[in-house]
Amino acid sequence: MVLKYDLLAALFSVCAVFARSVSVPDSKSNPDSDSDSLSGPSLASRAYMIKGTKMTDLTGILWPGDVVWCLDSSDNKEHELILDMAEKSWKMWRDVIGDESVLEFAPVHDKKPECSKYRGKIDMLEIKLNNEKKILSYNGYVKGDNRLDFDLSATYGARTPLVNFAHELGHVFGLLHTHQQRRAWPSLLNLNCQNLGDYDRLKERGVDVDKICEDLDQQAAEANKFWAEHILPDSNVQNDVIEDDKFDWDSIMLYDSYAFAKPGTVALVKADGSHIPVNVKPSKGDGEAIRTLYPGEESSDYDSD
């Protein structure tokens, strides 16, 4: 469904926050649809997502209305490309979300959703294209500063722009990286630290990269701009997110084993050493997570407190 929005649409007040996310390389879809158990109470369905009730350094809040997007470009060809990709990506999500959710994702205009024509009048997700292998988005909603930086290159991320885009929409809606749940480490996941693409360079500079990985120290990884920060469990979000006692190996928010790895090697693996292939579409668990965050009017049993 394509929606158009009036220029007098209501605006919402909230402070800004930024979160990094990078998509994953190519592989086959995961044939193992089972979910492994984690310790702790069941709060959602195999999901790792924001609570959505307050701003934090990593997470935004739930979208207060439809997710309206625009493109920061005046190029007609780019508009055609993103309109097509956005429609196909949203269909992938709607296929697993179903009808029991109020969430909608639509362009501000169905022909040329150019940001400059609506900026400051409508609160939108601004999509900005680049050729710098940069794919960044927010986790949830941020008033006046919602952004999705996207590289259309087919040689980056999942090597399929459509999968990259669908992954980023997961972040926009409020889902975090499945592999960064603290309770998944080390019972389900392991990191071959020495196989990360920047491991050797940082080690030569004197950074104790091995200790960072052994300690699962994401903060130290971030401080040293070590790629492990995108894989290791999140350090400061335990009170601001929801984790479950199941792990969804099929989630589109899960990195595969080749993400950030040196050529011909694997980085993130299962605890038994087996590889994690790329998931090319949202899983049933991803859909359940969205329905939990954005339930239909008569189906809400979500308690974020």
Q: Give residue 159's pLDDT.
A: 72
Q: Give residue 50's pLDDT.
A: 76
**pLDDT tens digit at each of 305 positions of the chain:** 333 333 222 222 222 223 344 433 333 333 333 455 443 322 233 457 777 667 766 678 999 999 999 999 999 999 999 999 999 999 999 999 999 899 999 999 999 999 999 998 989 999 999 999 889 898 899 887 899 999 998 776 667 899 999 999 999 999 999 999 888 999 999 999 999 999 999 999 999 999 999 999 999 999 999 999 999 998 765 545 555 567 899 999 999 999 999 999 999 999 999 999 999 999 999 999 999 999 986 544 434 43
Q: Give residue 235's pLDDT.
A: 78
Q: 106: which strand partners? A: 68
Burial degree of 213 (CB within 10 A; 0-12, 13-18, 19+): buried
What's the rounded Cα separation, in Å, for the pair 190 and 216?
A: 10
Domains annotated on the chain, with CATH: 35-293 (3.40.390.10)
What's the rounded Cα separation, in Å, for the pair 272 and 65?
A: 43
What's the rounded Cα separation, in Å, for the pair 234 and 37?
A: 19
3 in Cβ contact with 66 (< 8 Å): yes
277 in Cβ contact with 256 (< 8 Å): yes
Read off the amino acid at residue 285: G
227 in Cβ contact with 198 (< 8 Å): yes
Residue 102 — φ and ψ, nearest 5°?
-90, -5
